[in-house]
């Protein structure tokens, strides 16, 4: 009888121990689940906060864009026929404090650099620049030429307007040589211009000895095809044959891309005096002559291209008609590099703007991120 009672007591004690262990396991499991739920909730809350902050930084950047429009409108209301570096838009980049952050921006003239899309077959040739003929790529005639160039490889505009006939091609080749990049000479510069020409034109005919078409790109480890269209960004040069990182890095301060626009017009009033190599390439002169020409420019620039061409410093340079046709004193295209910070969020954006004939500002492209 005593033995029975001990056994029963032992069984009850063991059951209580198992129950306690079970309860402890359940509590531990519930604690783990609660901790995971709390961590996920905190992550979601932080993610929502980050999205909200980033969205606010984005709106701040758009605010910089709207402010830039007002600045440009004011500048061209006062001086509608000339663009120069003494105008309000040309001030160095500024920072503006805002609620829980700041906005910074810098405006640059996209006609103070060489438009790489001017090597497109729709650009004016040297002969057209001399005679003042040729048409814009947006005109019906130009569009018809584009269609005919695509449909036929013989007798097309792409063949008649070879890279040697385009002013921008001549200038780009000279610019690459003028930059004195290690290992880059006239032969390499010509090859790059030929490759860029083939990248832009719509046919499959290789231009010169350095050209490259679909077969050259399709044979690479990671194959692709030539764009056969306008460049979208200067960074696209990384895809084109012969353009090395060193060349692209050296070219970037001097070149730009106007979307779907082959015009080759350089504003002599806004050329950077610290980068005379571009003017040297435009004039076909020595670096010293280009520096003298830029030094002779007043801070308010020229009121007429004829005033620029009358400079005594240009008497050393013999300019052809296609060269003089490249210069203007007003600009239509501008670029805003804006960045905004709100709390711990940072947003960067580049906006390309065009000044219409009615002095209205149109945003034609936006690039998000540092570029």
- pLDDT (tens digit, 9 = 90+) per residue, 179-227? 999 999 999 999 999 999 999 999 989 988 889 999 999 999 999 999 9
Give pTM, 2 decimals.
0.79
Return the ∠ at Cα 138 (arms to 137 and 140), rounded to 5°: 100
At residue 164 the predicted structure's pLDDT band, cuts being 50, 70 and 90, is low
Show the domains of the chain with their CATH numbers: 164-254 (1.10.40.60)
Q: What's the whole-number mean pLDDT along residues 132-136?
A: 51
The pLDDT, as a whole number, for residue 93 is 74
Structure tokens at 223: 């194959």
Tens of pLDDT, residue by residue over 265-288, are 999 999 999 999 999 999 999 999
User: Mean pLDDT across the chain, nearest whole number?
Assistant: 85
What are the Cα distances from residue 234, in Å, to 124, 128, 192, 259? 21, 26, 14, 11
**pLDDT confidence of residue 256:** 95
Residue 334 has what pLDDT? 96
pLDDT band, very low/low/confident/very high, at 246 (cuts 50, 70, 90): very high
* Confidence bin at 248 (pLDDT 50/70/90): very high
Distance (Å, rounded) from C-alpha 77 to C-alpha 361?
12
Residue 154 has a pLDDT of 36
- pLDDT at residue 169 in the model: 95
């Amino acid at each position: 009888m005593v033995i029975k009672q001990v056994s029963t007591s032992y069984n009850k004690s063991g059951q209580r121990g198992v129950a306690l262990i079970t309860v402890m396991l359940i509590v531990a499991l519930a604690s783990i689940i609660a901790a995971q739920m709390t961590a996920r909730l905190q992550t979601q809350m932080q993610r929502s906060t980050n999205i909200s902050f980033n969205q606010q930084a984005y709106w701040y950047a758009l605010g910089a864009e709207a402010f830039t429009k007002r600045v440009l409108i004011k500048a061209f209301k006062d001086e509608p026929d000339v663009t120069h570096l003494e105008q309000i838009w040309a001030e160095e980049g500024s920072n503006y404090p805002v609620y829980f952050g700041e906005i910074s921006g810098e405006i640059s003239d996209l006609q103070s650099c060489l438009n790489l899309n001017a090597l497109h077959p729709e650009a004016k040739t040297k002969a057209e620049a001399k005679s003042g003929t040729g048409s814009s790529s947006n005109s019906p005639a130009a569009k018809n030429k584009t269609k005919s160039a695509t449909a036929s490889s013989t007798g097309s505009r792409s063949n008649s307007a070879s890279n040697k006939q385009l002013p921008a091609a001549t200038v780009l080749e000279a610019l690459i040589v003028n930059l004195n990049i290690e290992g880059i000479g006239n032969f390499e510069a010509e090859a790059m211009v030929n490759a860029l020409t083939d990248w832009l034109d719509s046919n499959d005919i290789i231009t010169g000895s350095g050209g490259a078409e679909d077969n050259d790109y399709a044979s690479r480890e990671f194959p692709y095809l030539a764009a056969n269209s306008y460049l979208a960004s200067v960074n696209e040069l990384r895809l084109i044959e012969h353009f090395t990182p060193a060349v692209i890095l050296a070219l970037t301060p001097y070149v730009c891309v106007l979307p779907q626009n082959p015009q080759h017009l350089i504003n002599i009033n806004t050329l950077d005096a610290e980068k005379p190599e571009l003017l040297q390439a435009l004039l076909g002169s020595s670096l010293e002559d280009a520096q003298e020409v830029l030094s002779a420019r007043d801070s308010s620039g020229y009121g007429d291209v004829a005033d620029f061409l009358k400079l005594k410093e240009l008497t050393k340079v013999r300019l052809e008609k296609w060269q003089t046709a490249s210069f203007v004193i007003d600009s239509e295209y501008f670029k805003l590099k804006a960045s905004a910070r709100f709390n711990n969020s940072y947003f960067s954006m580049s906006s390309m703007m065009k000044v219409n004939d009615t002095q209205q500002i149109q945003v034609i492209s936006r690039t998000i991120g540092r570029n």
